[in-house]
Amino acid sequence: MNQTHSDLLGRLNLDSLPITALIKNPGTNEIVANVAGLVMLVGVLVVLFILTKFRLWRPLWSDWLTSTDHKKIGIMYVVFGIMMLARGVIEGVVMRAQQAMGAGSGFLEPDHFAQLFSTHGTIMVFFVAVPFVLGYINFVMPLQIGARDVAFPVMNQISLGLTVAAGMILMVSLVVGEFSTGGWTAYPPYTGARFNPGVGPDYWIWAIVVSGVGTTLSGINFAVTIYKMRAPGMLLSRMPLFCWTVICSSILIIFAMPPLSVAALLLGADRYMDFHFFTNDLGGNMMNYANLFWLFGHPEVYLLVLPVYGMYSEIVSTYSAKRLYGYLSLVIATMSIAVLSFTVWLHHFFTMGQSALINAVFGIATMLIAIPTGVKVYDWMATMYRGRIRFNVPMIYLVGFLILFVIGGLTGVILASPTVDFQVHNTLFLVAHFHNVLIPGVLFGLLAGYNYWFPKAFGFRLNERLGKLTAYLWIVGFMITFLPLYVVGLMGMPRRSYSYTDTEFVPWLVLAFIGALMILSALLVFLEQLRVSIRDRDQNRVPFGDPWDARTLEWSISAPPPEYNFAIIPTVTKRDAFAEAKITGQAYGSDDAYEDIKLPKNTPVGIMLCVLSGVWMFALVWWIWWLVALVTALIFLLVIGWSFFVDNERVIPAAQVRQEHQAWLAKLKATPPVDRDKEFSPENLGYAKTELAGDA
Amino acid sequence: MSMRHRYRHPGLNLTDTPDEHLAKNETTIFGFWVFLMSDLIFFGLMFAIYITSIGATAGGPRPHELFDFTSLAIQTVLLLTSSLTVGFASLVLKFDAKSGNLIVWLLVTLLLGLGFLFFEIRDFIEIAAKGGVPSRSGYLSAFYGLVLLHGLHVAMGCLWLVVIMIQIQVFGLINVVTTRLIRFALFWHFLDLIWIGIFSVVFFGGLHFG
């Protein structure tokens, strides 16, 4: 990296582009880097072309980018997550290919390989799992508690804008300059200015800081929504379990994101202003970084996995046509995990020099987490017991999860023992472990939830056959990829190795590469399922909104839901309110209590902050100081100026709400309800002849 | 409506809020409390970093060579008094909003805040002149990190206060503006609390243990 810099462009110059490297030093490594950049540029051009050709700019702007509707913001989060997932998976396959090429060979240079595992980790955690989870929470939670929006709709839009801007700056790092080589944890002093003077760690720092602000604001938003905006009668003890997991997850966000922001900002202070928080010399202390990072890092795992547990709980109960077993124990288990998650961070660095006693305390605390998790696994199985189970796509993911997650959990208990950890730390055993909990634990749940809630969001069901194929490819692909890594890990292969000498690893790594190809094909079939489903949407419409004979309030309204969600805010008298209403025949009633509904107006503030913060990060990374100052001033002006728009609400008159709702009810009453045998036939318009009965 | 029902959020509740705003205000102000909680973690961690760095002076200047306690006493008086005046502003807002005293108390608060910043910046310049710059040692990095973080919060608070004062002139005391004022008061008291922590831990603690 050329370190000369000008006033106008900072340290940005021609050498920052990968094409320069290709011209100067042609080889496979540079070709891979250039192809990656090219694919991204082509992707951007294709999107721009489609938007222009089909004249989608105006609807994109007025229906989506400026919308404050929590449902649309949720969908945009998930679309962003899918985009980033594609990049993350491809990077994973390239890394598996590199290691499968055998001892001492391969096609990537060490630096490039290091960028790959750094971006792969950063993307998968911060720009796949987080946006996916936040997206689902955004879409589902307000509907489940009977609210018309989240507590702070504009702040919600800003959260999305900041997260997307940070993801985009990661994409930019593919084409301009290079990303960090310090892993997703970015430990100093390696990532400090002395050992890493280039732009890589700076890309990481600003992406983390900006997306961290976005996530924190989301956490505050969700917590306040649940505490203050539940429908009448929706006591905490009557909330769907998903909402319970969301409240725990929000609390984790509120308390656990600040340590990450502090860690990244202080690392930034070291790099930009010659501070000495984490340097080797002059009293810096990198252990502070390790503590800060994992003080965030461990709760982070649970803030991702808890909402997914909630989704599994909804799914298992719907597709078993049974009430969720052990609701109270699941709530207590969720809360226990949330609390315990703050007491275990040190197990991420058992080998970094603290006393045996401290290691033992944290090891035992870590093992304790297996207890509430075990309670949950038994509760889900007990829910299935003697239920009328339908093996729809989400249930396939659920069963895959139950089996594989237990294995992942057990290897976690193994790693929780400091003595064992000393043997296998920093090996592929660890890599296998955390993929084993995060893929079945988070990703499978997200894919299950995608199949489950998609009809609610878009008004038509997804193709079941391709959905099943995707699920099996993911499950088998996961096993073939990651179970061999346990073996090579135990054989002593260090993680993050671009090369190695022991030929005994080769067959296992080739196997893992085959598994990675299966995962890649799972991703492709997943996209194909979406394409086919959109093509066939007219045969799969579910306007009445309840295609799965489900239990919670979001299924009681049309699909897609009206922008105000509920024509009349429901009054809740029992847990699983919609199931209860269906059993007693009171669903789809109307007591004519329509009122004018106030909704927030559209505003461009979120998308403007998205663009400005994107430019701000880029300018900071490349030391373009005049631009940093300019954009900072613009951000202040925007926020202050926006605070002068005090008239932010628009009204939907009661007459319009009545007319829309009554028209929908009339159509529903004129349609015969369908039973579960016809779940996948075009006759399933989302009006379920319920199988639920008695106290179910 | 009963009195009990009207006290819907922690802190000062306005008594004449129209019913249509009650639920929204409750949500907004509760949300701000939650934000403060998250911000408090930020400060807590910076305190922790400072405490672990107290010995890490790396041969550079040590706390007792740097701090000017006269100036610190002035800063403390200014900031604590500003907390009192913002409290008066809140009381005026609740009981005597039409009297015009509100803007006076807010102006006094702003001046006290700016006075605090003036002395703090003067201190930083003096400390830097004695060789106390953040690039000198881990200790000084932690010192600047924490105290600057608080100073930046105060500066942001001053800016926010100016915006609110303009909005009072432009819009009058409409609901949006009064809830902003309530939230500003919470923020300002919060910064006072943090300052008490900084005074005790950073300055006295630094003197004692550094």
- pLDDT tens, residue by residue, B151-186: 999 999 999 999 999 999 999 999 999 999 999 999
Query: How much is the CA Rg of chain A, to the nearest whole Å?
Result: 25
Task: Report how far residue A180's alpha carbon sits from residue A200's, in angstroms, rounded to the nearest whole number.
Answer: 4
Separation of alpha carbons A387 and A383, rounded Å = 7
User: Which two tokens mark B136?
Assistant: 């000198």
Is residue B61 in some structural domain?
A: no
Query: What's the residue count for chain A?
Result: 696
Q: Do A266 and B31 touch (CB under 8 A)?
A: no
Looking at the fold, whether A31 and A161 belong to one and the same domain comes out as no
Chain B nearest-CA distance from A249, in A, is 14
Helices (H), A341-392: 356-368, 370-384
Is residue A31 domain-shared with residue A84, that is, in the same domain?
A: no
Tokens of A515: 């598994």
Residues A30 and A98 in one domain: no
Question: What is the CB-side half-sphere exposure of residue B183 using CA atoms within 13 A?
Answer: 20
Q: Is residue A627 part of a domain?
A: no
pLDDT exceeds cutoff 50 at B2: no
Check A273 against B134: CB less than 8 A apart: yes
**pLDDT confidence of residue A696:** 58
Query: For residue A282, which residues of chain B lie inside 8 Å, CB to CB?
Result: 56, 58, 60, 135-138
| Whether B30 and A224 lie within 8 Å, measured CB to CB | yes
Q: What is the pLDDT of residue A1?
A: 43
Residue A289, chain B, CB below 8 Å: the answer is: no
A338 pLDDT above the threshold of 90 = yes
Single-letter code of the amino acid located at B124: F
CATH number at residue B75: 1.20.120.80
| Residue A223 with chain B: CB contacts under 8 Å | 34
Segment A237-262 mean pLDDT: 97
User: With 50 as the cut, is the pLDDT of residue B208 above it?
Assistant: yes
* Residue A38: domain span: 1-55
Question: Which positions ≥6 away from A216 have C-beta within 8 Å?
Answer: A253, A254, A257, A258, A261, B38
Contacts of B180 in chain A (CB under 8 A): 643
CA angle, corner A546, sides to A541 and A552, nearest 5? 150
The per-residue pLDDT for A2 is: 45
More confident residue, A27 or B122: B122
- Distance between CA atoms of A394 and A448, rounded to whole angstroms? 4
For the cut 70, the answer to whether the pLDDT of residue B87 exceeds it is: yes
The mean of the pLDDT values for chain A is 94
Residues A171 and A47 in one domain: no
Residues A48 and A61 in one domain: no
CB contact under 8 A, B58 and A281: yes
Q: Would the CB atoms of B177 and A646 count as touching at under 8 Å? A: yes
Using CA atoms, how far residue A332 sits from A198, A343, A552, in Å, is 48, 17, 21
Nearest C-alpha in A relative to B49: A288
User: Residue B23 CB: number of other CB atoms within 10 A?
Assistant: 12
Residue B57 lies inside a defined structural domain of this protein? no
Closest partner CB to A283 (pick from B23, B138, B176)? B138
Question: Is there a contact between A204 and A180 (Cβ–Cβ < 8 Å)?
Answer: yes
pTM of the model: 0.96
Judge if A227 and A269 occupy the same domain.
yes
Residue A315's CATH number: 1.20.210.10
Residue B104 located in a structural domain? yes
Chain B residues touching A219 at Cβ < 8 A: 38
Q: Which DSSP string corresponds to A279-308? A: -SSTT--HHHHHHHHHHHHHHHHHHHHHHH
Q: What residues pair up with A541 in beta bridges, in sequence order? A: A460
> Three-class SS of residue A598?
strand
In this predicted complex, what is the ipTM?
Answer: 0.96
Residue B30 belongs to a domain: yes
Q: If you compute the radius of gyration of chain B from its CA atoms, what whole number of angstroms results? A: 20
Contacts of A220 in chain B (CB under 8 A): 31, 34-35, 38
Chain A: give the shortest CA distance to residue B71, in Å.
Answer: 25
Contact A380, A387 (CB under 8 A): no
Average confidence (pLDDT) over B46-64: 94
Q: Is residue A630, in this structure, part of any structural domain at all?
A: no
Residue B50 has pLDDT above 70, yes or no: yes
Domain boundary residue, one of A33, A55, A77? A55
Q: Please tell me which of the candidates B27, B45, B52 has its beta carbon nearest to residue A229.
A: B27
Measured CA to CA, the distance from residue A74 to residue A446 in angstroms comes to 13
Contacting residues of B for A216, CB less than 8 Å apart: 38
The runs of H, that is alpha helices, within A542-624 are 577-583, 605-621
- For the cut 90, the answer to whether the pLDDT of residue A159 exceeds it is yes
Residues A337 and A360 placed together within one structural domain of the fold: yes
A190/A42 same-domain check: no
CB pair distance less than 8 Å for B138 and A276: yes
A639, part of any domain: no
Burial level of A510, CB count in 10 A (0-12/13-18/19+)?
middle
**Which one-letter amino acid corresponds to residue A147?**
A
Task: Say yes or no: A254 contacts chain B, CB-CB below 8 A.
Answer: yes
Q: How many domains does chain A have?
A: 2
Q: Is residue B194 part of a domain?
A: yes
Q: Are the CB atoms for A471 and A400 separated by under 8 Å?
A: yes
For residues A195-204, average pLDDT = 95
H/E segment holding residue A599: strand A597-600
Cα-Cα-Cα-Cα torsion A633, A634, A636, A637, nearest 10 degrees, comes to 120
Let me know if residue B14 belongs to a domain.
no
Task: Assess if residue A632 is contained within a domain.
Answer: no
Contact A211, A261 (CB under 8 A): no
Cβ–Cβ under 8 Å, residues A386 and A327 = no
Q: How far A255 CA lies from chain B's nearest CA (Å)?
A: 6
Is position B88 within any domain? yes
pLDDT above 90 covers a percentage of chain B that reads 83
Structural domain count, chain B: 1
A620 lies in a domain?
no
- Clarify whether residues A23 and A171 are in a common domain: no
Please report which residue ranges of A145-240 form alpha helices under DSSP H: 153-175, 200-228
DSSP state of A6: B
Query: Does B60 reside within a domain?
Result: no
Average pLDDT value for residue range B143-156:
98
Say if residue A51 is in the same domain as residue A83: no
Residue B198 pLDDT class (50, 70, 90 cuts): very high
B-chain CB neighbours of A285 within 8 Å are 52-53, 56, 138
Q: Do A74 and A27 fall within a single domain?
A: no
Q: How many Å from the N-terminal Cα to the C-terminal Cα in chain A?
A: 65
Tokens of A535: 């093509």
Please name the residue ranges forming H helices in A459-573. 464-490, 506-535
In chain B, which residue's Cα lies nearest the Cα of A266? B145
Q: A634 lies in a domain?
A: no
> How far apart are the CA of A518 and the nearest CA of chain B, in angstroms?
42
Please give the backbone phi and psi of residue A238, each rounded to the nearest 5 degrees, phi first. Answer: -110, 0
- A520 lies in the same domain as A533: yes
For chain B, how far is it from start to end, CA to CA, in angstroms?
Answer: 57
| Residue-level pLDDT at A351 | 95
Query: Which of B26, B139, B163 is facing A228, going by the closest CB pair?
Result: B26
Closest residue in chain A to residue B57, using alpha carbons only = A283
What burial letters (b/e) apply to A130-143, b meaning 16+ CB within 10 Å? bbbbbbbbbbbbbb
Is A152 part of the contact surface with chain B (CB cutoff 8 Å)? yes
Cβ neighbours of B159 in A, within 8 Å: 636
How far apart (Å, rounded) are the C-alpha atoms in residues A238 and A236? 5
Question: A20: which 2 tokens?
Answer: 């320069």
Taking 50 as the threshold, does the pLDDT of residue A122 lie above it? yes
Average pLDDT over residues A587-614: 92
Contacts of A292 in chain B (CB under 8 A): 45
Higher per-residue pLDDT: A3 or A179? A179
Tell me if A694 is assigned to some domain.
no
Q: What is the DSSP string of A208-220?
A: HHHHHHHHHHHHH
Question: Residue A575 pLDDT more than 90?
Answer: yes
Q: Residue A313 half-sphere exposure, CB side, CA atoms within 13 Å?
A: 33
Shortest CA gap A254–chain B (Å): 5
Arithmetic mean of pLDDT, A359-377: 96
Cβ atoms of A244 and A226 within 8 Å: the answer is: no
Contact A285 B26 (CB under 8 A): no
Q: What is the pLDDT of residues A282-312, one digit of tens each?
A: 999 999 999 999 999 999 999 999 999 999 9
Q: Domain of residue B194: give its range.
A: 20-52+66-209
The verdict on A284 touching B (C-beta cutoff 8 Å) is yes
- Residue of A282, A287, A293, A637 to mutate, testing the B interface (most B Cβ within 10 Å of its Cβ): A282
Check if A151 contacts B (Cβ < 8 Å): yes
Show which residues on chain B lie within 8 Å of chain A, measured between beta carbons: 23, 26-28, 30-31, 34-35, 37-39, 41-42, 45-46, 49, 52-53, 56-58, 60, 134-142, 144-145, 159, 163, 167, 170-171, 174, 176-177, 180
Give a yes or no: residue A696 inside a domain: no
Nearest CA in chain B to A293: B45
Residues of chain B found within 8 Å of residue A262, distances taken between Cβ atoms: 42, 45-46, 49
pLDDT at A591: 77
Is residue B191 within 8 A of residue B154, CB to CB? The reply is yes
A386 CB near a chain B CB, below 8 Å? no
Q: Which residues of A touch B34 (CB under 8 A)?
A: 220, 223-224, 254
